[in-house]
Chains A and B, each alone.
Chain A
Amino acid sequence: MHIAVYLPLVLPALAMVSARWLAWRLEPRTATWLLTTSALALAAASSAALAILAATALGQLPLLAVVGHWSARVVGRNDPVSIAEALTACLLLAAAACATIRAAVRRVRAIVRAARESHRLRSAGRLAVLSDPAPDAYALPGLPGRIVVTAAMLDALDDRERSALLAHERTHLTGAHYLFVAVAELSAAANPLLYPVASAVRYSVERWADERAAKVTGDRHLVARTVGKAALLTDGYHKKPFATLAAARGKLRRAGPVPRRVQALLAAPPGSSPVVLVFALGVLALAAASTAEAAHDLLALLQIVGSP
C-alpha cells in the first residue's frame, strides 16, 4: 500500500483551496457542474481510500486472523500500513458514514417539506405572492416548483426589475439547482475538507441564475441593479440581526457573495477557459486512478494472505 492510497485523501485539500477561485473564474454553469461532480468524486474517492486502509486493519487483527486462517504477521510484514493508521481510518470512515446519513435524512426531509408547502400554496401559476412586510424572494423546489415573492419585495421593484428577479428564480427551478447544492453538501458531510467546495457550488448556482436572467432580459446592468437593490432592501429591513448573522458565518473578511455577483454582472459575461477545465478534470482523473491503484494493492495483499 503505497502513495496511491493517500492521494485521494490529500486531493480534497487541493479542491478546498481552488474551489472559490474556480467559481469566480469559470462560466457559472460549467463551474456548477464541475464543482458538484468534483465534490462527489472526491468524497467517494477519499471514503474508498479510508475503507481500503481500514481493511488492512482487519488483516492485522490477531483475532480475525485466527478465525480466517491466515497469519497476522504475514499481513503485517507485507503491508506498510501500521495498525494504528488502519484503525484511525476505521474511525474516520465510521464518522463520515454517520455524518453523511444524518445529513442525507435531514436534507431529504427538508426538501419534501418544502415541496409540500409549495404544493399547498394557493396560486394559479408558478408565482406565489405572500403578503409579508419582510422583503424576500426565493424558489421552492417541488412538483411543481414555485417562486415565492413577498409583497414588500414586489412593491420595491419596478416592472423590469421584477422580470429580472423572476427570470433569476425561474432558472433555479428549471435547472434543479437544489440538487446540485444537495449533492455538494452531502459530499462535504462525508469529507469536511469539501465544505468550501459546497459553498462555492451555492455561489455558482446564484451566478448561473444571474447570467441567465441577464440573457433573458438582455440587460446585465438591470440584473445587477436588481440584485443590489434587493440586497440593500432586505438588509435594511432586518438591520442588525442580519449583520450579526453574517458575522457569525465569518464573512467579515472580504466582500460577500452579493457584491461579487453585482460586480460580475457589471463586467462582461464570463467566457470559457478550457485550460482550467482540463486541469480540474485531470485532478479528478488522478483521484480516480489512485483509488483504483490502491484497491488493486489491497486485492494483491489479500491474495498473499489467502494463499496457503
Chain B
Amino acid sequence: MDSSADHAAGGHRGRHQPRHAAPRRRSGELSGLVLEVLGQAGRPLTAGEVAELLEGTGVGPLAYTTVVTILSRLHVHGLADRSRVGRAYAYRAVADEAQLAARRMRRVLDAEDDRAAVLARFVGGLNARDEQVLRRLLGPDLASGSQARDDPRDGAE
C-alpha cells in the first residue's frame, strides 16, 4: 500500500490525491493535528493511516506526500519516533499531549504583536520598584515566598 520511496520530502505523488479541496492550512497547524492523531492512536501509525484519520476529522483530503513530509519533519525534530513496518514507517508521538498544547500556545501567542488584545493576563510585568511595594503591602502574607526559580531560561521560548 505505502511506498517507502515516498518518504523523500516532496517526492512523487504516490497516491493520486487531488489538490486541497479543503481550505489551505498552514503547515504548523497540520503538524499539530498530525501529532494529535498520533497521540490519540495509542499505537504506531503509518502515513496512510494518519492521512485517513485526518480525513475523518474533517480536515479535508490531504495529499499523501503532505502527510509523509509532516511525519518526516516531526521525526527530525524529535517529536515522533518511527519504526519499520514492512516497507513503510510507522510513527508514534513522543511528546506529551499537554506539553504540545503548551508549546503551541506559546508559539501562537508570542507571534502576536498585540498580545494584550488576545488575552487578559492575570498579572502583567513588574517594574523595578513594584516588587518592593508589593512586599510592603502584603508583607507576611507572602511568607511562602515567590518560589523564584533560578531558571536560566530567560523567557527565551
Contact = CB atoms under 8 A, between A and B. Distances in A.
B117 A111 contact: yes
B140 to A, nearest CB: 10
Contacts of B153: 133-134
Given A121-B101, A246-B126, A266-B137, A236 B154 contact: no
A133 B96 CA distance: 14
Interface stretch (B47-55, B79-87, B144-152): B144-152
A129 B96 CA distance: 13
A234 interface: yes
A172 interface: yes
Contacts of A263: 137
Interface string A162-177: 0001001100100001
A224 to B, nearest CB: 7
Contacts of A225: 138, 141-142
Contacts of B56: none
Interface size range of chain B in the complex: 35 or more
Given A111-B117, A240-B154, A117 B105 contact: yes
B120 interface: yes
Nearest to B112: A110
A258 B101 CA distance: 28
B21 interface: no
Q: Which of A231, A259, A266 gathers most chain B CB within 10 Å? A: A259
Given A148-B105, A229-B142, A110 B154 contact: no
Contacts of B125: 235, 242-243, 245-246, 249, 251, 256
Given A138-B122, A229-B142, A237-B149, A181 B116 contact: yes
Given A228-B142, A232-B146, A243-B128, A113 B120 contact: no
Contacts of A221: 141
A255 interface: yes
A39 to B, nearest CB: 15
Interface stretch (A63-71, A202-210, A273-281, A287-295): A202-210
Contacts of A107: 114, 117
A239 B155 CA distance: 9
B130 A131 contact: no
A131 B135 CA distance: 28
Contacts of B32: 120
Given A134-B157, A181-B116, A182-B117, A231 B101 contact: no
Contacts of B117: 107, 110-111, 178, 181-182, 185
A232 B135 CA distance: 9
A252 interface: yes
A252 B128 CA distance: 7
B134 A258 contact: yes
A50 interface: no
A117 B108 CA distance: 8
A262 B116 contact: no
A95 interface: no
Contacts of A138: 119-122
B127 A256 contact: yes
A235 B126 contact: yes
Contacts of B10: none
B129 interface: yes
Contacts of B134: 228, 231-232, 258-259, 262
B106 interface: yes
4 pairs of A and B residues whose beta carbons are closest in the complex? A236-B148, A232-B146, A138-B119, A130-B102
Interface of B: 32, 96-99, 101-102, 104-106, 108-109, 112-114, 116-131, 133-135, 137-138, 141-142, 144, 146-149, 151, 153-157
Given A134-B153, A239-B154, A256-B124, 11 more contacts: A131-B99, A134-B157, A168-B122, A227-B122, A231-B134, A232-B126, A236-B147, A237-B148, A242-B126, A243-B125, A258-B130
